[in-house]
Chains A and B, each alone.
Chain A
Amino acid sequence: MKLPFPLLPPNASTVATEVDILYWFITAISAFFVVLVAALVVIFTIKYRRRHEDEVGADIHGSLVAELTWTFIPLVLSLLMFFWGADLAFRLARPPVDAMEIFVVGKQWMWKIQHPDGTREINQMHVPAGRNIRLTMGSEDVIHDYSIPAFRVKMDVVPGKLTTLWFNATTPGTYHLFCAEYCGTNHSGMIGEVIVMEPQAYEAWLSGATGGPAVPPAQAGEQLFAANACATCHSGQPGAIGPNLGGLAGAAVTLTDGRTVVADDNYLRESIMVPLAKVVAGYQPVMPPFQGLLSEEQVMQLLAYIKSLKPAGPAAH
């Protein structure tokens, strides 16, 4: 029998089934305890109902065995759920290294998407099935949240930093995309569609998607790098005012205060927007901040460009 309305979400990613199995496992345990407590309460209330006015209950004070039993059993079950859920969460949190990167920018009240070849779309995200996809996400204003229930994934999109989300879609089709963190007037209109396509169909869609020629993000980043005269200091030459950016992404960096940090997306972003927050050892704190001058999208493009640089630096690119 098929109901005229759904009671379950579509299952369209590799993790969806894993999440669902955990969900139904906890549901089964919960149902058992709800039925147990409800049945006991109802049975006791009926069986031990007061039969005459002066009656009192049996003189029972407690039982250590009982207390330990109903402490220990829930403890074991909840720890099982914890480890199961933690294991799943680690896999959800760590994008595979081979993932294709798509940029997402949230702003009141729309989602802007950019594909690796530079193709853009708004409130729609076309993705190929069967491929690991990592979203790098930023916000232009308040906190949003990129939620795709059919994939069982969601992640906040937070101003002032970049966040990531990954999935591997299994089933071609059209699925809901929601903003799941309240963001003001048109929050419930900040929605869209995720369209999962067969890989060939996705390639075909890319080639015919936009009117003008698409500029890949790294190339757009290179243009920004030139337009903002970044190479004046980040020339890659010995004795340059700023550090060499070639091979920087993902490397360990020593700061003036002696700390060592990994130059991940958020470090690079911060070093562009608020450069004086973490200055590399051996350099003067002279870089001007670009906060307010660059959009999140432009920062993502600059990051793509910086990641594309060979260790020799911009000059050799």
Chain B
Amino acid sequence: MSDVSQPRNSYLDAPYGLASWLLTKDHKRIAMLYLISITIFFAIGGLFAAGIRLELLTPQGDLWTSDLYNKLFTLHGVVMIFFFLVPSIPATLGNFLMPIMIGAKDLAFPRINLISWYLYIIGATVTLAAVFTGGLDTGWTFYTPYSSVSSQTAVTTAAIGVFITGFSSILTGLNFIVTTHRMRAPGMTWFRLPLFVWSNYATSLVMILGTPVIAITVLLVAAERALGLGFFDPARGGDPVLFQHLFWFYSHPAVYIMILPGMGVISELVAAMARKQVFGYSFVAFSSLAIAILGFLVWGHHLFVSSQSIYAGLVFSIITMLVAIPSAVKTFNWTATLYRGSISWQSPTWWVVGFMGLFTIGGLTGVFLGTLGLNIHLTDTYFVVAHFHYIMVGGAIMAYMGGLHFWWPKMTGRMFSDAGSKTSAVLVFVGFNLTFFPQFVLGFMGMPRRYHAYPDEWQVLNVLSSCGAGVLALGYALPLVYLTYSLFRGAAAPANPWGAKGLEWTIPSPPTTYNFEAEVRVDEPAYNYKSTREVHVG
């Protein structure tokens, strides 16, 4: 392991002062701004979740009023999806790493990168204003005509907040695409790109193609509500199911916005922790693109019981089956990468192992829901709730946490408590399964989503779920403690604490403002472990 002394002028220190952060064009500082912002929103979204799980400890619906409960699950979804999950990996780890991984000094459009953070903050502020001026009770799905006609809450304000935030996502996607095309260092060919870059590239395609549709759709809801125009309300000549088509045209691909970057993180972590070339590199890379493309063609599987034509349902069902294949291919390739690797038992591996278990369950339960005849019984129940939490929390957030720990020394220049990280990974894994596995059982029994009160016989499973949520919360709170501690007291990180390959590990921790002091030239494929080490496994 090479030992590089702390640089005198890391991006964190030069220059100093609040203004230098708020006006920065450095992708690494913008990544840190995002990191702080999304952590705050993760905590807020978590508080809403705590409100939900506390209420569901008892069947009667006795802790909050129905209206408050409806606002809690709505805001939990809105905050977690639009203000935490969608920006999570791309805007923090992606922002920080994309330029470094391809040997560039910054993203293609540093100013646009800063604007995207400000748009995120403005959108989030407007949405929070909705929380304090009547709340929001439409569910994060904003289904019409409830949202456009019936709801008494601040739907228009929230819709505008989501609309603004959408542009933040579009600009990030645009920046990543142009950066990947134009900013690669000499020798960094497409097939030498780290898989994290591939998956963020695929994600960016979804962001710029899908996000405008959700932006327009929520604007139409706001227009129907505020101006009385008839788009979705049948009383005014509209079609409520049209909304669902438009909404899911973005919101299903949005699932891939959330999970694809996580898959990229896992590819990096598997390779680094096993010190081995990713098995089937090109299959893993192209499966990201396949997911991004097929992901646009499956939105109708959210509409199987909506009165959509059954023939449309057939098409959406079969494409849903097809989109499961590239995810399966990735999972098998990661598993195969571990074969005859040199697997470190340091904490990033623990997050990866957790991800593999949870993501596999999440993906397979998606097949249940894609199966037409079975979907009818399972849709709109807790089975769906459990399924997408396995993907988004068990998959995307596990990967995010793993990536955050893995690159933390690079980002901050400090080592963290490995034991703390392992404890957190175990707490999250156990707490997560305890929270969400009982929900599969509840869903198969027919417990509908978004229920403030429920039949008595389902209390035991709901109590288990709520207890699990407590453990999960502990698992997420713990890193706040030891990572914050590491910022001030952590040991100085060497340039390459994991002994990993990749351009980011060739520069100091934390990097200097322009990342690379000398011109970068790449002459080897990604994860080329055989070139540097002497000892090989068996």
In the complex, A294 has a CB within 8 A of chain B: no
Contact B143 A158 (CB under 8 A): no
In-complex Cβ contact of B345 among A50, A54, A187, A274 (8 A): A50
Contact A34 B364 (CB under 8 A): yes
Contact B340 A60 (CB under 8 A): yes
For A78-89 the 0/1 string (1 means CB < 8 A from B) is 110110111111
Which A residue's beta carbon lies closest to that of B338?
A: A44
Contact B445 A86 (CB under 8 A): no
Q: Which residues from A are CB-within-8-Å of B451?
A: 178, 187-188
In-complex Cβ contact of B139 among A55, A74, A89, A182 (8 A): A182
Query: Which of B29-37, B310-318, B476-484, B515-523 is near enough to bind chain A?
Result: B310-318
Bound-state CA distance A185–B538 (Å) is 64
Q: Which residues from A are CB-within-8-Å of B277?
A: 57, 59-61
Bound-state CA distance A7–B452 (Å) is 21
Bound-state CA distance A52–B533 (Å) is 12
Contact B445 A161 (CB under 8 A): no
Residues of B300-343 whose CB lies within 8 A of A: 304-307, 310, 313-314, 317-318, 321-322, 324-325, 328-329, 331-333, 335-336, 338-343
Query: Which of B248-256, B394-402, B403-411, B454-462 is near enough to bind chain A?
Result: B454-462
Bound-state CA distance A86–B316 (Å) is 11
Contact A44 B341 (CB under 8 A): yes
Contact A56 B530 (CB under 8 A): yes
Distance from A90 Cβ to chain B, minimum over Cβ atoms (Å): 7
Q: Which residues from A are CB-within-8-Å of B314?
A: 86
Contact A58 B537 (CB under 8 A): yes
Contact A185 B70 (CB under 8 A): yes
Bound-state CA distance A54–B356 (Å) is 26
For B502-538 the 0/1 string (1 means CB < 8 A from A) is 0000000000000000000000000001101111111
Contact A78 B380 (CB under 8 A): no
Distance from B379 Cβ to chain A, minimum over Cβ atoms (Å): 7
Distance from A153 Cβ to chain B, minimum over Cβ atoms (Å): 6
Contact A61 B281 (CB under 8 A): yes
Question: What DSSP secondary structure best describes chain A's contact surface?
Answer: mixed
In the complex, A201 has a CB within 8 A of chain B: no
For this complex, into which size category does the number of interface residues on chain A fall? 35 or more
In-complex Cβ contact of B240 among A55, A143, A179 (8 A): A143
Bound-state CA distance A109–B90 (Å) is 42
Bound-state CA distance A84–B375 (Å) is 12
In the complex, B134 has a CB within 8 A of chain A: no
In the complex, A258 has a CB within 8 A of chain B: no
In the complex, B367 has a CB within 8 A of chain A: yes
Q: Which residues from B are CB-within-8-Å of A89?
A: 304, 310, 313, 317, 372-373, 375-376
Give the number of residue pairs across the A-B interface with Cβ within 8 Å: 321
Q: Which residues from B are CB-within-8-Å of A51?
A: 342
Contact B450 A85 (CB under 8 A): no
> Given A42-B353, A187-B452, do A81 and B321 touch, yes or no (CB 8 Å)?
yes
Contact A142 B336 (CB under 8 A): no
Distance from A203 Cβ to chain B, minimum over Cβ atoms (Å): 29
In the complex, A45 has a CB within 8 A of chain B: yes
For B345-367 the 0/1 string (1 means CB < 8 A from A) is 10001000100110011001101
Contact A158 B240 (CB under 8 A): yes
Residues of A48-105 whose CB lies within 8 A of B: 48-63, 66-67, 70-71, 74-75, 78-79, 81-82, 84-93
Bound-state CA distance A293–B352 (Å) is 61
In the complex, B276 has a CB within 8 A of chain A: yes
Contact B446 A9 (CB under 8 A): yes
Contact B367 A26 (CB under 8 A): yes
Q: Which residues from B are CB-within-8-Å of A62?
A: 279-283, 333, 336
For B363-385 the 0/1 string (1 means CB < 8 A from A) is 01101101111111101110000
Contact A58 B536 (CB under 8 A): yes
Contact A30 B70 (CB under 8 A): no
In the complex, A199 has a CB within 8 A of chain B: no
Query: Which of B44-52, B92-100, B109-117, B145-153 is near enough to bind chain A?
Result: B145-153
In the complex, B26 has a CB within 8 A of chain A: no
Bound-state CA distance A154–B143 (Å) is 18
Bound-state CA distance A186–B450 (Å) is 11
In the complex, B61 has a CB within 8 A of chain A: yes
Contact B356 A81 (CB under 8 A): no
Interface residues of A (CB under 8 A from B): 4-9, 18-19, 22-23, 26-27, 29-30, 33-34, 37-38, 40-42, 44-45, 48-63, 66-67, 70-71, 74-75, 78-79, 81-82, 84-93, 108, 141-143, 145, 147, 149-150, 152-156, 158-161, 163, 176, 178-189, 274, 291-292
Closest 9 CB pairs of A and B: A149-B446, A160-B234, A88-B373, A57-B276, A85-B371, A89-B372, A57-B341, A44-B338, A62-B280
Query: Can you list 22 A-B contacts (CB < 8 A)?
Result: A8-B444, A22-B373, A30-B361, A49-B345, A55-B537, A57-B341, A60-B277, A62-B279, A79-B318, A81-B370, A82-B370, A88-B373, A143-B146, A145-B305, A149-B445, A154-B376, A156-B305, A178-B448, A180-B381, A180-B448, A183-B146, A185-B137
